[in-house]
Structure 1
Amino acid sequence: MSSSPLAPTGTTTNSPARPSLTVLGGFWSTATFAVARTLLAADPSLLLVRHDISGIREGVVRRVIRSGAGIVSDERVELRHGCVSCTLREDVLPTLARLARTHPDRDLVLMLPEVVEPEAVAAACAHCLVDGAPVTDLVRVDSYVTVVDTEHLLDGLASTDDLRDLGIHAAADDHRTLADVVVRQIEYADTLVLWGTSPEGPFDTSRMSVLLQRMAPWATQVHVGADVVDATELSRQLRDTDRHRPETPAVLARGLEGYALGVHEPQADCGVVSTVFRSRRPFHPWRLHEALEAVNADVIRSRGHLWLASQPETVVAWEFAGGGLSMASLGRWLTAQPDDSWDHVSDQRRLAAALDWDPYYGDRHQNLVFVGLDLDPADLHRTLSGCLLTDAELADGEETWLRYVDPFAGCFPPIAVDTEGTVPG
């Protein structure tokens, strides 16, 4: 078992001379486009880039560039392959780079198609090269803004529909649900715009605001509920904020990197409850498997990571949305790796592990957050605690744990490391 890791620090720099890029996304495109038009009204010099990917599976997208004065260009683009990754690599990033070179004094807004997750764009900006360099050499990513339609938010989060069933999947192998897309758009954003009001009244509008805050407590929230929108004020709230932090890890890795995974607010606010479950003890695989339905019965969103006694080397990701639970491998715990392999993980993860290192468990622990309406946090914690190993089971040791009947056996193969900067479609 490895000793506690050390964590050197690093620094990043930003160049203020590059055009600013605001990435604007959201599943409800009417609301998202309304925000985009408002930004153009506030600053007619802005260039808005928008891609219609309704024909993407046939290898065709439509690119429209607008300014405050109207349409600058409207072109049909043919791709070598029909997927979001190809669109980002072959047209979105080159378009941003071209506009930054030809109009260095004009800021940019990239409006994402409804089923595109902002994390895919961030990965492309970081890893996919345009003329031998990342697009961030030419533009400064200012903020990732997600627009949420107040009236439809709860239905979207509760939806069990697959994008394929809705006919809006972004690639042949796109198996995401509508709820998957909505939660990832919300949770990656550094700025959330709650657009409109609920037809159920002010209380329900407030409830949607609290729900967003519980789901993404790290994001700045802006509510636009009036019939008449102050374009100047909204532009001030959304642009030139410098809120994007490229070093921030993906949501499921936040806990491993020492970032807050969620907030513990067990007292309901407008009916919304958020509770964090943490423990050093491992889960018994069979008891956890039997409790899965009960654990997520009243949950809108849960996420995090855990460790199973029967698979003590593997960090298991936990992600629930839209009635479906996904569990996968996030790699290996540091305590299960030789010291020289720690160089392959981030400095931040090594630091987080060092600060929370346990002589027996190492960096292994449970870290899960649950968000729901009228959720009973005490009952949830009792259920999860009952899935942990007892004192007697802990005393049996790892050799015994490895022989437990494990319904999750073979479910978490080691994750592949992508060294070519490809972006999931």
Structure 2
Amino acid sequence: MSTGVGEPVPVAQTFTYIDDEHGIDLSQYCRLDCMVTVVDAYRFWHDFSSGESLLERQQAAGDDDTRDVVDLLISQIEFCDVLLLNKCELVSAEELEELGQVLHKLQPRAKLIRTAHGKVDPKSILNTGLFNFDEASTSAGWMQELEKDHHTPEMEEYGISSFVYERRRPFHPERLIAWMEKFPEEVVRAKGIIWLASRNETAQSLSQAGPSIQFGSVGYWVAALSEAERQAVLADEPELKEEWDTVHGDRLTKFVLIRININKEELVAELDKCLLTDEEMTMAWSELKDNLPGAGD
């Protein structure tokens, strides 16, 4: 059993670690059967929206542990086989149903088990054979949504739904940061790739959960590489050619938003206003003021 502040991926990697060079294969001696995440139904929304760091709660692994509570909470939910929703006796049936729908959106693969006073049938979490590292690594709700060829309209239970925002036009850095500073509270989770005009060479990652927003470079666009490097990448990943733009290459914005009771059309309209205008598309983008995290790196 890991502690409440343990990151699930490193824990899983420990049990599946193989080093042929040094003759180390932990899988010969142990087997990771099931990743179980316990969610406190009574405190979930408090922890999710607290904005507190582990240091502030005196639960950090060390003085350099800068993680927020919500980031840890989301990482444990998105990488698991079973979600134990505990303390259900302290929450109303309607609140439990809504929370269950949110958790399913965040982690659609996991089996959700409601418990009271921590009582659970051992058979549901022991000797299950549920764990598969590759499946667990790609099972988060936002990943599943991005991988869909087409997003089909869904029934919105308790106003909970998700959609992919995708545009072939870059964001204006000042308008985007102004929008992010007023990030809608109704958006539970947002994650994906951003095309920022002031950083035309590199793709930016957006990862939001509650009040925690992380933003920064994740590497060069393929279109920004040298001709030789670009052709090598396209040869290895021919699927990139299917969505290749004749002018901007692979540059695009594509991220998932999981939301509760917020109008999709209004949200899309707000984001569209942050994109470059037709006139701005012809300007020198490098001259745009950029105060987003990672500027100047």
Please indicate the TM-score interval, normalised by the length of the shorter structure.
0.7 to 0.9
1:404 aligns with 2:282: no
- Structure 1 residue 334: Cα displacement: 1.5
Structure showing greater radius of gyration is 1
Map of 1:275 onto structure 2: 163
1:370 aligns with 2:257: yes
- Structure 1 residue 382: Cα displacement: 0.7
Cα distance in 2 for residues equivalent to 1:246 and 1:220: 11
Is the CA contact (8 Å cut-off) linking 2:47 and 2:70 kept in structure 1? yes
**How far does the alpha carbon of each residue in 1:303-327 deviate from its partner, in whole angstroms, 9 at most, with x for none?**
2220101111111111222413211
- Structure 1 residue 199: Cα displacement: 2.6
Map of 1:180 onto structure 2: 71
Map of 1:88 onto structure 2: none
1:168 aligns with 2:59: yes
Equivalent of residue 245 in structure 1, options 134, 141, 145: 134
> Could you tell me which amino acid in structure 2 is paired with residue 303 of structure 1?
K
1:147 aligned counterpart, secondary structure? strand
1:353 aligns with 2:240: yes
Is the CA contact (8 Å cut-off) linking 1:300 and 1:371 kept in structure 2? yes
Cα distance in 1 for residues equivalent to 2:32 and 2:233: 25
Q: Using a 3 Å threshold, how does the CA distance of structure 1 residues 122 and 280 change in structure 2: closer, same or farther?
A: farther
Equivalent of residue 386 in structure 1, options 273, 276, 286: 273
Equivalent of residue 288 in structure 1, options 164, 168, 176: 176
**How far does the alpha carbon of each residue in 1:343-398 deviate from its partner, in whole angstroms, 9 at most, with x for none?**
99899x9355344322222222112222233222221111101111223333x16x
1:165 aligned counterpart, secondary structure? coil
- Structure 1 residue 170: Cα displacement: 0.6
The structure whose residues are more often strand, as a share, is 1
Equivalent of residue 159 in structure 1, options 26, 47, 50: 50
Is the CA contact (8 Å cut-off) linking 1:252 and 1:317 kept in structure 2? no
Cα distance in 2 for residues equivalent to 1:345 and 1:135: 34
Which has the larger displacement, 187-196 or 124-133? 124-133
**How far does the alpha carbon of each residue in 1:106-148 deviate from its partner, in whole angstroms, 9 at most, with x for none?**
xxxxx11111111223455567859543534654544433222
- Structure 1 residue 206: Cα displacement: 0.9
Cα distance in 2 for residues equivalent to 1:351 and 1:370: 28
TM-score by length of 2: 0.82
Equivalent of residue 221 in structure 1, options 107, 111, 115: 111
Equivalent of residue 336 in structure 1, options 214, 224, 244: 224
RMSD over aligned Cα atoms:
3.6
Cα distance in 1 for residues equivalent to 2:138 and 2:161: 25
**How far does the alpha carbon of each residue in 1:140-192 deviate from its partner, in whole angstroms, 9 at most, with x for none?**
54443322222222222112111111111012210111111101111122443
1:203 aligned counterpart, secondary structure? helix
Is the CA contact (8 Å cut-off) linking 2:81 and 2:131 kept in structure 1? no
1:328 aligned counterpart, secondary structure? strand
2:90 aligned counterpart, secondary structure? coil
Cα distance in 2 for residues equivalent to 1:179 and 1:190: 19
Map of 1:194 onto structure 2: 85
> Could you tell me which amino acid in structure 2 is paired with residue 220 of structure 1?
A
2:104 aligned counterpart, secondary structure? helix
- Point out where structure 2 has 5 or more consecutive residues left out of the alignment: none
> Could you tell me which amino acid in structure 2 is paired with residue 332 of structure 1?
Y
TM-score by length of 1: 0.59
Q: Using a 3 Å threshold, how does the CA distance of structure 1 residues 122 and 212 change in structure 2: closer, same or farther?
A: same
- Structure 1 residue 216: Cα displacement: 2.3
> Could you tell me which amino acid in structure 2 is paired with residue 158 of structure 1?
S
Q: Using a 3 Å threshold, how does the CA distance of structure 1 residues 382 and 327 change in structure 2: closer, same or farther?
A: same
Map of 1:64 onto structure 2: none
**How far does the alpha carbon of each residue in 1:171-225 deviate from its partner, in whole angstroms, 9 at most, with x for none?**
22101111111011111224433334263311111111100111223x2222233
Cα distance in 2 for residues equivalent to 1:147 and 1:409: 32
Cα distance in 1 for residues equivalent to 2:254 and 2:76: 22
1:402 aligned counterpart, secondary structure? helix
Is the CA contact (8 Å cut-off) linking 2:98 and 2:158 kept in structure 1? yes
The total of aligned residue pairs comes to 293
1:209 aligned counterpart, secondary structure? helix
Is the CA contact (8 Å cut-off) linking 2:234 and 2:240 kept in structure 1? no
Matches within 5 A, 1:70-109: none
Cα distance in 1 for residues equivalent to 2:10 and 2:205: 19
Identity of aligned residues (%): 26
- Point out where structure 1 has 5 or more consecutive residues left out of the alignment: 1-110, 414-425
